[in-house]
């Protein structure tokens, strides 16, 4: 297996994750089997309990691992299905080391960062690829110089010594800031960043430079000289015009994949980029235009619903449509539903935890239902739709979820009995991929085209089966069931043009060239509604 390590310097949020994902896409186009993984230096064991305001969304994998949102980029750009082995935090590393120490695995030795911590990190590097993988791309979160990232960098340095040098490539992402007063890009921060990396014992092989302005040949020569990188390995990465899905094309123009292939001594033919050109063409020349409102509680932060936004864009690509996403705070809807919702062609309520904003979301569901606006509820959005239907159609006054009101007279959403005694944070959550059997007369079956599916979950409250008969008699349709535990996975309203709520998170299985079928049908319904 070949290994690529991706690091970043100067500032955070440079787009290392997108760069890694786009490089993975380019290498896949050449016929290589690629896997990606993320090392996060923070001390949380995983992002599962971190606030979306702090960290953005928690991306859930098939095996139930709660991971960094960059793994979403990895799965959207490439075809590999990731696992818990593909995300590692400092917290998990130290948890592993201390567990081994308590069991006596170190035979009384003094436990230290080197070799014990670095050995655990190297173990994960070796385990992150899997069978038949040609290249493993490992991204290190944070910035060169961060104290918490040093054990990971040391492990990477050691790893490069332990394998053949032409089996390892170091790629460093950096920033070329544009000083408006001087009217030029500055290379000094990048030089300093690379110098810091070299102090640790790592020499980068490719330097990817984020920039708002084009680089000059003189600038490439200067970076090459002071960073000890060949001129052709100084890569310009300008902000893309339309979408992040242009990035594989722009990096291809810089020949980054050829550099990787040459350095790693691989013999694979070049391939065309038709798939990515088709995606970009549809983004730039759409036939339709619709306005989708996303009503949530973490609207201020773009990354809180990252996979949801990307899945809506994918659905736009599939329908040759430009989708204008309107981010709406649920509390604003509560104050003025008409002002916030009237001009939308479709409404989506994403997942979430806690009761803030739920009143506004219930009003949103009611508004979409009564005004025949296409509605898509994800996880909490499905539960909100059930509460609205129970209260306002089935006549079950003060219906609620026990998450929001433990004393509600009609707990239409509740923790199932076999989960109630699991009090550890996260232990009573349904996490990862679960099967779902679709009802053949449902909108969902029309979308998927198959009866048995599997989708990823992250929640602890469920549709209360004690109310299933009452709600279906009132006109609610159960579109899908988990056959193992007879849990409701999908609800629909048959007398509505398109009203679907799902207990799972379909946004975790959507790609730009393969939109999730429910998202695709939702946007198609929004186009039809607008007409």
Concerning whether 212 is annotated as a catalytic residue, the answer is no
Catalytic residue of the set 379, 457, 459, 496: 379
Q: By CB neighbour count within 10 A (0-12 exposed, 13-18 middle, 19+ buried), where does 440 fall?
A: exposed
> E strand or H helix at 55, and its extent?
helix 52-55
Angle at 441 between CA 438 and CA 447, to 5 degrees: 65
Catalytic residue of the set 75, 254, 492, 507: 507
Contact yes or no for 333/361 (Cβ under 8 A): yes
Concerning whether 288 is annotated as a catalytic residue, the answer is no
Task: Find residue 295's DSSP bridge partners.
Answer: 328
What is residue 414's three-state secondary structure?
strand
Catalytic residue of the set 263, 288, 459, 505: 505
Nearest in space to 19 (alpha carbons), one of 8, 3, 9: 8
Identify the residue whose tokens are 């550099």. 259
Identify the residue whose tokens are 């994918």. 314
DSSP state for residue 142 in the 8-state scheme? S
Contact yes or no for 247/240 (Cβ under 8 A): yes
What's the CA gap between 246 and 19, in Å, rounded? 11
Q: Cβ atoms within 10 A of the Cβ of 505, count? A: 23
Concerning whether 227 is annotated as a catalytic residue, the answer is no
- Largest Cα–Cα separation, the chain: 75
236-263 exposure pattern, b = at least 16 Cβ within 10 A, e = fewer: bbeebeebbbbbbbbbbebbbbebbbeb
Q: Which residues are identified as catalytic?
A: 379, 505, 507
């Amino acid at each position: 297996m070949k290994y690529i390590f991706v690091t970043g310097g100067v500032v955070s949020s440079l787009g290392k994750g997108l760069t890694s994902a786009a490089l993975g896409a380019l290498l896949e186009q050449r016929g290589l089997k690629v896997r990606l993984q993320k090392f996060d230096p923070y001390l949380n064991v995983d992002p599962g309990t971190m606030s979306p305001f702090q960290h953005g969304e928690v991306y859930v994998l098939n095996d139930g691992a709660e991971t960094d949102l960059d793994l979403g980029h990895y799965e959207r750009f490439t075809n590999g299905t990731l696992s818990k082995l593909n995300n590692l935090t400092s917290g998990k590393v130290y948890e592993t080391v201390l567990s081994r120490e308590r069991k006596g695995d170190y035979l009384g030795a003094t436990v230290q960062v080197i070799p014990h911590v670095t050995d655990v990190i190297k173990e994960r590097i070796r385990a992150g690829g899997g069978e038949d993988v040609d290249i493993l791309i490992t991204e290190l979160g944070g910035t060169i110089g961060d104290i918490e990232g040093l054990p990971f960098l040391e492990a990477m340095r050691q790893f490069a010594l332990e394998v053949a040098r032409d089996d390892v490539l170091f790629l460093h992402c950096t920033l070329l800031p544009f000083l408006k007063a001087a009217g030029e890009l500055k290379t000094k921060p990048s030089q300093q960043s690379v110098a810091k990396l070299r102090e640790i014992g790592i020499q980068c092989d490719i330097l990817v430079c984020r920039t708002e302005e084009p680089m000059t040949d003189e600038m490439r020569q200067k970076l090459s000289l002071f960073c000890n990188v060949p001129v052709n390995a100084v890569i310009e990465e300008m902000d893309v015009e339309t979408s992040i899905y242009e990035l594989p094309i722009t990096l291809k123009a810089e020949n980054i994949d050829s550099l990787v292939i040459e350095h790693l001594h691989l013999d694979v033919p070049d391939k065309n980029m038709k798939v990515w050109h088709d995606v970009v063409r549809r983004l730039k020349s759409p036939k339709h235009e619709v306005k989708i409102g996303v009503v949530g509680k973490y609207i201020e932060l773009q990354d809180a619903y990252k996979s949801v936004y990307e899945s809506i864009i994918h659905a736009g690509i599939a329908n040759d449509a430009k989708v204008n996403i309107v981010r709406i705070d649920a509390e604003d809807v509560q104050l003025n539903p008409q002002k916030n919702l009237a001009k939308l062609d479709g409404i989506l309520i994403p997942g979430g935890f806690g009761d803030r904003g739920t009143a506004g979301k219930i009003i949103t569901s009611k508004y979409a239902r009564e005004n025949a606006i296409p509605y898509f509820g994800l996880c909490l959005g499905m539960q909100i739709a059930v509460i609205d239907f129970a209260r306002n159609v089935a006549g079950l006054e003060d219906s609620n979820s026990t998450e929001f009101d433990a004393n509600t007279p009609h707990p239409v959403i509740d923790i199932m009995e076999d989960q109630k005694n699991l009090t550890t944070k996260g232990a009573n959550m349904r996490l990862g991929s679960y099967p779902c059997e679709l009802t053949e007369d449902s909108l969902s079956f029309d979308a998927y085209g198959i009866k048995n599916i599997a989708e990823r979950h992250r929640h602890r409250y469920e549709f209360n089966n004690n109310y299933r008969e009452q709600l279906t008699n009132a006109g609610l349709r159960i579109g899908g069931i988990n056959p193992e535990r007879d849990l409701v996975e999908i609800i629909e309203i048959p007398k509505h043009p398109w009203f679907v709520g799902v207990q799972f998170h379909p946004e975790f299985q959507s790609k730009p060239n393969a939109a999730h079928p429910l998202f695709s049908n939702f946007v198609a319904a929004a186009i039809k509604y607008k007409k």
